[in-house]
Amino acid sequence: MSLRFITRFAHYDAKTVQEATSLLSKYGDKGKPIAGGTALMDILKKKYLPTPEAIVNLKTIPGLDQVMEEGGALKIGALTKLTDLAESSIVKSKFPVIAETVKMISTPQLRNMGTVGGNLCQQVRCWYYNKPDFYCYRKGGPVCYQPGGDNRYGAIMEQKVCNAVIPSDLAVTFTALGATLKVEGPDGSRDVPIKDFYVTLGNILKPNEIVTWITIPEAPSKARFRKFKVRKSWDFAVASAAVATTSKGTVAALGGVAPVVVSGTPDEVSAALDKATPLSMNKYKIQIAKTMLKEAMA
Ligand SMILES: Cc1cc2nc3c(=O)[nH]c(=O)nc-3n(C[C@H](O)[C@H](O)[C@H](O)COP(=O)(O)OP(=O)(O)OC[C@H]3O[C@@H](n4cnc5c(N)ncnc54)[C@H](O)[C@@H]3O)c2cc1C
Ligand code: SF4
Through-space distance between the first and last CA atoms of the chain, rounded to whole angstroms: 50
pLDDT, one tens digit per residue, over 6-32 is 788 999 999 999 999 999 999 999 999
Average pLDDT over residues 129-144: 94
Distance 283 CA to ligand 1 centre (A): 28
CB distance 238 to ligand 1 below 6 Å: no
CB distance 20 to ligand 2 below 6 Å: no
Ligand with an atom nearest the CA of residue 113: 1
CB distance 197 to ligand 2 below 6 Å: no
Average pLDDT over residues 86-99: 98
Cβ(51)–Cβ(94) under 8 Å? no
Average model confidence (pLDDT) across the chain: 96
pTM over 0.95: yes
Distance 39 CA to ligand 1 centre (A): 5
Single-letter amino acid, residue 88: S
- pLDDT of residue 1 exceeding 50, the answer is no
Closest CA to 6 of 42, 45, 43, 36: 45
Cβ(195)–Cβ(189) under 8 Å? no
Ligand with an atom nearest the CA of residue 103: 1
pLDDT of residue 47: 86
Distance 223 CA to ligand 2 centre (A): 32
Ramachandran angles phi, psi of 202, nearest 5°: 150, -130
- pLDDT of residue 272 exceeding 70, the answer is yes
**Which atom of ligand 1 is the closest one to the Cα of 78?**
41
Sheet strand arrangement including 10-13: 10-13, 54-57, 31-34
Q: Quick one: pLDDT band at residue 3, thresholds 50, 70, 90? A: low
